[in-house]
A = this chain, B = another copy of it.
Amino acid sequence: MNSIPSNSAGIIEPQNFHFDKPLNLTSGRILPCFDLIVETYGELNAAKSNAILICHALSGDHHAAGYHSLEDKKAGWWDACIGPGKAIDTNLFYIVSLNNLGGCGGSTGPTSINPETGSHYGPNFPIVTVKDWVTSQVMLMEKLKIIKWAAVVGGSLGGMQVLQWSISFPKRLHSAICIAGAPKLSAQNIAFNEVARQSISSDPEFFGGHYLERNTSPKKGLTLARMVGHITYLSDSAMRSKFGKTVSKFEKKGDNFGRDLRSEELSFGFDADFQVESYLHYQGERFSENFDANTYLLMTKALDYFDPSIDYDSDLSQAFSESNCKFLLISFSTDWRFPPERSREIVNDLLKANKEVTYLEIEADQGHDAFLLPVPRYIEALRSYLNRIHTEVIKNAA
Whether the Cβ atoms of A258 and B195 lie closer than 8 Å is no
Please measure, in the bound complex, the distance between the C-alpha atom of A188 and the C-alpha atom of B236, giving whole angstroms: 6
Please measure, in the bound complex, the distance between the C-alpha atom of A243 and the C-alpha atom of B191, giving whole angstroms: 11
Instruction: Give 1 or 0 for each of A220-246: 1 = CB within 8 Å of chain B CB.
Output: 110110011001001010011011100
Whether the Cβ atoms of A297 and B270 lie closer than 8 Å is yes
Residues A256 and B194 in contact in the complex (CB < 8 Å), given A202-B220, A240-B186, A276-B187: no
Contact residues, A176-210 vs B (CB, 8 A): 184-188, 190-192, 194-195, 197-199, 201-204
| CB-defined contacts of A259 to chain B, threshold 8 Å | 184-187, 190, 307
Residue of B nearest to A236 (CB): B188
Whether the Cβ atoms of B305 and A27 lie closer than 8 Å is no
| CB-defined contacts of A224 to chain B, threshold 8 Å | 195, 198-199, 202, 224
Please measure, in the bound complex, the distance between the C-alpha atom of A290 and the C-alpha atom of B60, giving whole angstroms: 40
Number of copies: 2
| CB-defined contacts of A185 to chain B, threshold 8 Å | 257, 259
Q: Is A28 an interface position by the 8 A CB rule?
A: yes
Residue of B nearest to A187 (CB): B258
Whether the Cβ atoms of B190 and A253 lie closer than 8 Å is no
With both chains docked as a complex, state the minimum distance between the C-beta of A69 and any C-beta of chain B, in angstroms.
35
Most B CB within 10 A of own CB, among A254, A272, A277, A304: A277
Residue of B nearest to A273 (CB): B304
Q: Is A348 an interface position by the 8 A CB rule?
A: no
| CB-defined contacts of A313 to chain B, threshold 8 Å | 252-253
| CB-defined contacts of A273 to chain B, threshold 8 Å | 304-305
Contact residues, A19-46 vs B (CB, 8 A): 26-29
Instruction: Give 1 or 0 for each of A304-327: 1 = CB within 8 Å of chain B CB.
Output: 110100100111000000000000
Whether the Cβ atoms of B201 and A270 lie closer than 8 Å is yes
Whether the Cβ atoms of B270 and A301 lie closer than 8 Å is yes
With both chains docked as a complex, state the minimum distance between the C-beta of A132 and any C-beta of chain B, in angstroms.
11
| CB-defined contacts of A127 to chain B, threshold 8 Å | 268-269
| CB-defined contacts of A250 to chain B, threshold 8 Å | 307, 310, 314
Residues A199 and B201 in contact in the complex (CB < 8 Å), given A236-B186, A252-B314: no
Whether the Cβ atoms of A314 and B280 lie closer than 8 Å is no
Please measure, in the bound complex, the distance between the C-alpha atom of A126 and the C-alpha atom of B268, giving whole angstroms: 8
Q: Is A336 an interface position by the 8 A CB rule?
A: yes
Chain A residues engaging chain B, CB cutoff 8 angstroms: 26-29, 123, 126-127, 184-188, 190-192, 194-195, 197-199, 201-204, 220-221, 223-224, 227-228, 231, 234, 236, 239-240, 242-244, 250-254, 256-259, 266, 268-270, 272-274, 276-277, 280-281, 297, 301, 304-305, 307, 310, 313-315, 336
Give me 12 A-to-B residue pairs in the complex whose CB atoms sit less than 8 angstroms apart, sorted by A's number: A184-B259, A186-B236, A187-B240, A187-B258, A191-B280, A194-B276, A199-B224, A202-B203, A202-B220, A202-B221, A270-B301, A273-B305
